[in-house]
Chain A
Amino acid sequence: MKQKFKNYLKLGFFTLVLSLISVNCVKDQDIFIENETSFKTIDVVGQIVKGDSIRQTNKNLDLFLRLRFEARNRFSSEDITSNIYGFTVLTDRIFQLNGENYTNYIFNITRNNSTIAGFENYMLTIFNDGSYMQVLIYYPFINNDNQLEADINGATVTYINDESLLTNVESSPCNNASEEIIAWEEECVAVNCGDKGDHSPGEACDNGDYVAYWNCTGAWVVTGCIHTGNGSSSSGSNTNDPFPPTGNGGNSTNPSDPNTPDETVPTIPFIPAPEEIENCLNNNLNTTNLLSNEDRTWLNDRSNSAQVNLINDYLQNNGCNDETMTVANEIIGECQNDGEFDDEEILKAVNFKGTKADCVYKKLKNSSNGFKAMIKKFEESFPVAHLKFETDPTMSSNSKKAYTNPPENYIIDIVINGNAIKDASYQKRPNLLVAKTIIHEVIHAEMFRKLLSLAQVNGEIDVPNIQNMLQQGDYPGMLDYYVRHGNSINSNWQHAQMAAHYRTTIARALQEFDTGMPVPDNVVPQQIYLDLSWEGLNHSIIPAWQDLTTPEEKARIDQAIDDYINAYPNQNCTE
Chain B
Amino acid sequence: MKTVLSILFIFMFLLSPQELKEETIYIQFNSHSNKVYSYETSNGKYAKEMIYRKEKKGNGNYHFYIGKELFSFNSKKNIIDTCSVEKLKHISFTPIKKAKKKVDKTNGLYPYKVFNKVFLVEKINDSVIVKYDVKWEYYIE
Which A residues lie at the B interface, using CB under 8 A? 392, 394-406, 408, 415, 444, 460-461, 463-464, 488-490, 494-495, 535-536, 538-541, 545, 554-555, 557-558, 561
In the bound complex, what is the Cα–Cα distance between A535 and B43 (angstroms)?
Answer: 10
Query: Are B140 and A404 touching (Cβ within 8 A)?
Result: yes
Tell me which residues across on chain B come within 8 A of A461, comparing CB atoms: 109-110
Q: How far is it, in angstroms, between the C-alpha of A426 and the C-alpha of B56 when the chains are bound?
A: 19
A555 to B42, CA, bound (A): 10
Please determine whether B43 and A558 come into contact, CB atoms closer than 8 angstroms. yes
| A400: contacting residue among B3, B42, B141, CB under 8 A | B141
- Are B108 and A463 neighbours in the complex by a CB distance under 8 Å? yes
Say whether A444 contacts B140, CB under 8 Å: yes
Q: Is the CB of A561 within 8 A of B108?
A: no
Chain B nearest Cβ from A428, distance in angstroms: 15
B32 within 8 A of A: no
A396 touches B53 (CB 8 A): yes
A448 to chain B, nearest CB (A): 8
B86 interface residue per 8 A CB criterion: no
**Interface size range on B against A:** 20 to 34
Q: Which of B3, B45, B139 contacts A404 (CB 8 A)?
A: B139
- With a 10 A CB-CB cut-off, give which of A395, A398, A399, A495 has the most chain B CB atoms: A399
Q: If A403-B139, A489-B109, A535-B42 touch, does A541 touch B3 (CB 8 Å cutoff)?
A: yes
Q: With the chains together, A255 CA to B107 CA distance in Å?
A: 69
Chain B's closest residue to A557 (CB) is B43
Nearest CB of chain B from residue A526's CB, rounded to whole Å: 21
Which residues 1-29 of B sit at the A interface, judged by CB distance below 8 A? 3
B42 touches A406 (CB 8 A): no
Q: Is B41 an interface residue (CB 8 A)?
A: yes
Give 3 closest A-B pairs by Cβ, nearest first: A490-B108, A403-B139, A406-B109
Chain B interfacial positions (CB closer than 8 Å to A): 3, 39-45, 47, 49, 53, 55-57, 65, 104, 107-110, 137-141
Contacts of B45 in A (CB 8 A): 558
Known A-B contacts A396-B55, A397-B49, A399-B47; A539 and B42 likewise in contact (beta carbons under 8 Å): yes
Which residue in A403, A488, A558 is a CB contact (below 8 Å) of B42? A558
**A460-B110, A463-B110 known; A540+B40 contact, CB < 8 A:** yes
Name the distance in Å between B23's Cβ and chain A's nearest Cβ: 18
Q: Do A464 and B107 contact each other (CB < 8 Å), given the known contacts A394-B55, A540-B40?
A: yes
Q: A535 to B110, alpha carbons, bound, how many Å?
A: 27
User: Of the candidates B44, B55, B141, which one forms a contact with A401 in the assembled complex, judged by CB atoms under 8 Å apart?
Assistant: B141
Q: Could you tell me if B107 and A463 are in contact, using CB atoms closer than 8 angstroms?
A: yes
Could you say which of A460, A464, A494, A561 contacts B140, with CB atoms under 8 Å apart?
A: A494
By a CB distance below 8 angstroms, the chain B residues around A558 are: 42-43, 45
CB nearest neighbor in A for B2: A540
How close is B104's CB to chain A, nearest CB, in angstroms?
Answer: 6
On chain B, the residues within 8 Å of A494 by CB distance are: 140
With A399-B41, A539-B42 already in contact, the answer to whether A488 and B139 are too (CB < 8 A) is no
- CB of A405 within 8 A of CB of B53, answer no
Contact of A394 among B41, B57, B108 (CB under 8 A): B57
Q: Could you say which residues of chain A place their CB within 8 Å of the CB of B56?
A: 394
Bound Cα distance from A547 to B104, whole angstroms: 28
Chain B nearest Cβ from A506, distance in angstroms: 15
Q: Which of B41, B43, B65, B138 contacts A405 (CB 8 A)?
A: B138
In the complex, the answer to whether B109 meets A490 with C-beta atoms within 8 Å is yes
Q: Which of A397, A460, A488, A495 contacts B108 (CB 8 A)?
A: A488
Known interface pairs A395-B55, A400-B141; A545-B43 also in contact (CB < 8 Å): yes
Pairs A–B under 8 Å by Cβ, sample size 28:
A392-B57, A394-B55, A394-B56, A397-B49, A399-B39, A399-B41, A403-B140, A404-B139, A404-B140, A404-B141, A405-B137, A405-B139, A460-B110, A463-B107, A463-B109, A463-B110, A488-B108, A489-B107, A494-B140, A495-B140, A539-B40, A539-B43, A540-B44, A545-B43, A557-B43, A558-B43, A558-B45, A561-B42
